[in-house]
Amino acid sequence: MPLDHYVTLGRSGLAVSPFCLGAMTFGEDWGWGSSVKESEAILDHYLGLGGNFIDTANAYTRGHSEKIIGDYVGRHPARRCRAVIATKFSSSLFPGDPNAGGSSRKAIVGQCEESLRRLQTDYVDLYWLHVWDPLTPIDETLRALDDLVSSGKVRYVGVSDTPAWKVAEAQTIARFRGLTPFVALQVEYSLLERTVEGELVPMALEMGLGMTPWSPLRSGILSGKYTRESAKGAKPGRGAWVEAALTERNFAVLDVVRRVAGELGTTPARVALAWVQSRPAVASTILGARSVAQLEDNLGALDVRLPAEASKALDEASKPALDFPADFVRNSAMFKRGGTTVNGETAPPWPLAPGTDAERH
């Protein structure tokens, strides 16, 4: 599937590429990442292949990521019109100012104006709530976002890193009050992080949210660049975030990923990306790349089709432990529809059921 075979994002008509270009690596301000020149080369390559979805945030590399995109896209009307630029609010760039971050009306409007200035554009195509702010009522956030949409400064809104119950509340409020609803949900999702399947994925399906997973390779672990031996005493680029995930359980999952990749004649990274992109509710998976070569390699996942047996092996190896009542609900089919097949799913007979139809009366 080519990069220019677009998909609509959630319950909207916004057409985006199946792989989104993540720009958290744009700029070397955090001590790692891509130079300005390399970032521009990555944009050249992605857009040249027909990609149109670019994801950043006000906080990425202290605002430099937005500026790099602005210098590249914002000054060129043709590039700007074709690109779907997504950025996020929540993070404060001004320590000591309690209203510089978060999700209050003052914070949102201020952050939006700053992002527009760095991006050198009059509007943002998709504006994300980066992370839930428990101190701000969600209806205040929704009203502020709706005003930005009405003013033309924002086209669509999305929500990231927020509990399912809060997103569901927000969607319900938006619909009943005629406010702009969220069209997309951004969460961490990979073969090594599947707990979103308990609440967030079903909620996204029910509420019409297109999912855009971040860290689909779990900070590079699923690329296969770490082994049990090399991980001993290693200090990965992102420190504790990666080290905490270099566990025996995760290496066991990686063993299966490597095996499937060998059987299909592809790379572990492409297998892991293809698995994420095939999941229910997923619209566009976010790819972070520090070089054109890395981006090109990962885009090869668009050509990977996982056979049923391969998907099953990956699912079983990475099966997560979900919060209650996920397993209880999944296993309840036998005492609701035991011994029948509905919508293609067969429920086993319930051993405690009364028995035959004759015993109903």
Q: Catalytic residue numbers?
A: 60
Q: Measured in whole angstroms, how far is the alpha carbon of residue 87 from the centre of its chain?
A: 13
**208: alpha, beta or left? (left if phi > 0; alpha if psi -120 to 50):** left
CA dist 301 and 285 (Å) reads 11
User: What is the C-alpha separation between 282 and 270, in angstroms, rounded?
Assistant: 16
DSSP 174-230: HHHHTPPPEEEEE-B-BTTB-GGGTTHHHHHHHHTPEE--B-TTTTTGGGT---TTT
Burial class for 337, CB neighbours closer than 10 Å (0-12, 13-18, 19+): middle
Question: Is 322 within 8 Å of 197 (Cβ atoms)?
Answer: yes
- Taking the C-alpha atoms of residue 21 and residue 171, their distance in angstroms, rounded to an integer, is 26
Cα separations in angstroms, 75 against 55, 63, 71: 18, 17, 6
The H helix count followed by the E strand count for the chain is: 14, 12
What backbone torsions phi and psi does residue 137 show, to the nearest 5 degrees?
-55, 135
**R_g over Cα of the chain:** 22
93 within 8 A of 59, measured Cβ to Cβ: yes
> Cβ atoms within 10 A of the Cβ of 9, count?
26
